[in-house]
Amino acid sequence: MSDTSTTSVTPGSVNVSLSDVTKSFDGVVAVDQLNLTINDGEFFSLLGPSGCGKTTTLRMIGGFEEPTSGRIVLGGRDVTYTAPYHRDVNTVFQSYALFPHLDVYENVAFGLRRKKVAKDEVKKRVGAMLEIVDLPGYEKRRVNQLSGGQQQRIALARALVNEPALLLLDEPMSALDAKLRHQMQIELKSIQSRVGITFLYVTHDQEEAMTMSDRLVVMRQGKIEGIGSPQDVYDNPSTEFVATFLGASNLLAGTIASRGQEITAVALENGTTLQVPTARVATSTVGSVVKVGVRPEKIRIHVSGSTTTTGNTLRGRVRVSTFTGVGNQYIVEMASGEDITVYAQNIGEELAPRSGEEVELSWPIEHTFAVRPAENVISSDELAS
Amino acid sequence: MEQPLPAHHPGGVGSPRRHRGRGKGLAPYLLSLPAGLWLLVLFVVPLFIMLSITLKTCSPASGACVMTWQWGELPHVVNQYRGQFVTSLVFAFFATLIDLVISFPIAYWIAFYGGRRKNFFLIMLLVPFFVSFIIRTLVWEFILSNNGVVLSFLRGNHLVPSSFHVLGTGLAVVAGLAYNYLPFTALPLYVALERIDRRVLNAANDLYATRRVTFMRVILPLAIPGIFAAFLLTFIPAFGDYVNQEILGGTSNTMIGTVIQNLFLIDSDYAGGASLSAVLLVISLLGIWLYARLLGSRTIEEYL
């Protein structure tokens, strides 16, 4: 594949679609009636804690697992029960899974040789691919002589060189250190836009998913909890799980007091009423229990009485104040005993409140959301990434 | 566990503590002493005694040997027993080949489809071999004998002519060797196949390799060190074996092991027996050397 080549991708056309896909292992449901559509040329991520079914979903699309029920359609063709070697899909495996008995060249050429591509063509494409992953001249190296980052690039090259309709990536960066991972994220995104191939990326790392994806889904317990562009999903979380898994959220329990066209009022347990845009309330019935959320960086904090506040307002006392360089993190305890976390950027504007001081918290109504409380308690294991 | 103190450690100035550090340095050597002594006394010393006998001249009557530095015995016996060498090579080769053909599917099946019962299947494979080598071979004599179950059945159903017999032929010896050395083939093959990363096989499938191509292009190449190890581990002992030939073979297909045994125990030709043993040793070492050259010495540690 050369830099000038353009792939015949119709943006927006459906690349792969899953309908009602369920997978259970010995009666345990790993993926539960999943419906998902990925468009051509998208960088799409499946994000979720370990055990949420994201890898199983990827393995079913790759052909390594058969769904218990449901259908997988790839490029208009039903591939639900098609063997992996008959699918126009390639995978970058978590452990890279390079062939230890072959050198770099033969590893990258493996797929092309199976497709009986002419020798000269193989040579040209492998060479061009090694350029793209920034490892030219590595043809004769043995794969076990390469560093983790290099092996990862070879695994990527080995899959991409076949120009598949869809590239699956199964936590490909989990073995890399943080710095290298960050660098590879940027590189991977740029390679994807250059080659124009649809990427389906599986990760438990929310930052990674947000950095690279055009769209993403957040999965939990085999189901989709949220879907959309990273900004959509972050700013307008659809469930309590999404709100806590993707970034941090302050969530306060309350009941819907009244519902208007534009604004819904939620009464907190301590008597305060918060206003939420009706479009951002997951359930509309008056009297139903919800959790009202606001992101820590959306909140303004100031010493009580120092300014007039607009929007939603809460009062409390600073329990912990931590200086992080780029800003301050406050944990503010309200009269109800609930804690609210606030990130204030270090722009040198205001005098930072100190521990023990009475403060007022305020934020614009449009940054407030309300979600239904999760049916199953969210464990700390699920949030650790 | 406490680490040995570095020499410049401030607390290590006092001699008692330093002493302890030195004792710990010696620990690996002390631990290897029993095994080292065992190897020295029961392996290295006898080996040199045997090699030295090749240079001695022994009296067939008394068995007494005198060092004469004559190495003429070596080419002499090799020449004299060339036929038996060839017979041994051919028998051992075919026995090993049969073992590889039988073991590979077994090892493959256990490694890839054994699931949680892998160890159970391996033990089932090994259980017959807990019975003494000689007894197992004697039972084969019984099974293959002219009036034994197999031949009686075949003759009774006119599947073979009445003059057909197995015992006393090369076929019986090869069969006995193949049977007795099967675990030496099956286990290294199992180890080689078991350690193949399943994700690599997924990767091959992902890159358009069908099951057959995956086997030919990935599984087989990755199993090569194990196949070679299995070959050596079976071929070398089968080559020097004399029990199978003694019990199952006839007089026309003597193997080199039988010759050595006869030279030592019947003819009292110690120099001749030692010389043949030395040749056997060199052939075995050649095999291992070849292995190291082709596949690297690290894989030897892993399999042999």
* Predicted local distance difference test score (pLDDT) of residue A156: 93
A28: left (phi over 0), alpha (psi -120 to 50) or beta: beta
A111 neighbourhood in chain B, CB within 8 Å = 207-208
Query: Based on the domain organization, do B115 and B14 belong to the same domain?
Result: no
Distance CA A182, CA A207 (A): 10
Query: Is residue B58 domain-resident?
Result: no
Burial grade of A5 (CB within 10 A; 0-12, 13-18, 19 or more): exposed
Query: Based on the domain organization, do B274 and B143 belong to the same domain?
Result: yes
For residue A8, what pLDDT band results from cuts at 50, 70 and 90? Answer: very low
Query: Is residue B132 domain-resident?
Result: yes
**Does residue B15 register a pLDDT over 50?**
no
**Does residue B4 register a pLDDT over 50?**
no
pLDDT-wise least confident of A269-283, B53-67, B78-92, B250-264: B53-67
Interface check for A88 against chain B (CB to CB < 8 A): the answer is: no
Query: Is residue B1 domain-resident?
Result: no
Query: DSSP label at A221?
Result: T
Query: Based on the domain organization, do B23 and B160 belong to the same domain?
Result: no
Mutate to test the interface with B, among A98, A101, A122 (most CBs of B within 10 A): A101
Query: Based on the domain organization, do B167 and B281 belong to the same domain?
Result: yes
ipTM: 0.80
Query: Based on the domain organization, do B116 and B221 belong to the same domain?
Result: yes
Please say whether the beta carbons of B151 and B145 come within 8 A: yes
Pick B199's closest partner by Cβ from A93, A101, A111. Answer: A93
Query: Is residue B5 domain-resident?
Result: no
* Predicted local distance difference test score (pLDDT) of residue A110: 96
Q: Cβ contact (<8 Å) for A84 and B199?
A: no
Average of per-residue pLDDT across A117-138: 93
Distance CA A372, CA A374 (A): 6
* Predicted local distance difference test score (pLDDT) of residue A1: 38
Interface check for A111 against chain B (CB to CB < 8 A): the answer is: yes
Rg over alpha carbons for chain A, rounded to the nearest Å, is 24
pLDDT tens, B226-274?
999 999 999 999 998 989 988 898 888 889 998 998 888 888 888 888 8
Domain total of chain B? 2
* Predicted local distance difference test score (pLDDT) of residue B239: 92
Query: Is residue B65 domain-resident?
Result: no
Please say whether the beta carbons of B177 and B93 come within 8 A: no
Where is pLDDT greater, at B157 or A123?
Answer: A123
What is the chain A residue with the closest CA to B202?
Answer: A64
Query: Is residue B62 domain-resident?
Result: no
pLDDT tens, A221-242?
999 999 999 999 999 898 999 9
* Predicted local distance difference test score (pLDDT) of residue B157: 86
The label of the residue with tokens 């109504």 reads A365
Average of per-residue pLDDT across B48-56: 86
Structural domain including B286 reads 73-303
A325: left (phi over 0), alpha (psi -120 to 50) or beta: left
* Predicted local distance difference test score (pLDDT) of residue B58: 75
* Predicted local distance difference test score (pLDDT) of residue B296: 74
Residues on chain B bordering chain A, Cβ-to-Cβ distance under 8 angstroms: 197, 199-200, 202-210, 213, 217-218, 221-222
Average of per-residue pLDDT across B175-188: 94
For residue A331, what pLDDT band results from cuts at 50, 70 and 90? Answer: very high
Rg over alpha carbons for chain B, rounded to the nearest Å, is 26
Query: Based on the domain organization, do B136 and B42 belong to the same domain?
Result: no
For residue B66, what pLDDT band results from cuts at 50, 70 and 90? Answer: confident
* Predicted local distance difference test score (pLDDT) of residue A25: 93
Tokens of A44: 């799409």
Which domain CATH number covers B118? Answer: 1.10.3720.10
Query: Based on the domain organization, do B95 and B224 belong to the same domain?
Result: yes
Distance CA A135, CA B250 (A): 65
Interface check for A172 against chain B (CB to CB < 8 A): the answer is: no
Distance CA B246, CA B255 (A): 9
Query: Based on the domain organization, do B47 and B114 belong to the same domain?
Result: no
Q: Cβ contact (<8 Å) for A85 and B206?
A: yes
pLDDT-wise least confident of A53-67, A202-216, B270-284: B270-284
Query: Is residue B60 domain-resident?
Result: no
Tokens of B222: 């990755």
Query: Based on the domain organization, do B179 and B114 belong to the same domain?
Result: yes
Q: Cβ contact (<8 Å) for A90 and B210?
A: no
Q: Cβ contact (<8 Å) for A99 and B218?
A: yes
Work out the percent of chain B whose per-residue pLDDT is above 90: 38
Q: Which domains are seen in chain A, by residue range? A: 14-235 (3.40.50.300), 240-374 (2.40.50.140)
| HSE-up (13 A, CA, CB side) for residue B31 | 6
Distance from CA of B105 to the nearest CA of A (A): 22
For A106, list phi and psi in degrees, rounded to 5.
-70, -30
**Does residue A6 register a pLDDT over 50?**
no
Query: DSSP label at A258?
Result: E
* Predicted local distance difference test score (pLDDT) of residue B41: 92
Helices (DSSP H) in A92-147: which residue ranges? 104-114, 119-132
Query: Is residue B182 domain-resident?
Result: yes
For residue B3, what pLDDT band results from cuts at 50, 70 and 90? Answer: very low
Query: Based on the domain organization, do B127 and B231 belong to the same domain?
Result: yes
pLDDT tens, B110-141?
999 988 999 999 999 999 889 998 999 999 88
* Predicted local distance difference test score (pLDDT) of residue A4: 39
Query: Based on the domain organization, do B44 and B78 belong to the same domain?
Result: no
**Does residue B155 register a pLDDT over 90?**
no
Pick B202's closest partner by Cβ from A64, A89, A111. Answer: A64
Q: Which of residues 115-134 of A touch B (CB under 8 A)?
A: 115
Query: Based on the domain organization, do B80 and B36 belong to the same domain?
Result: no
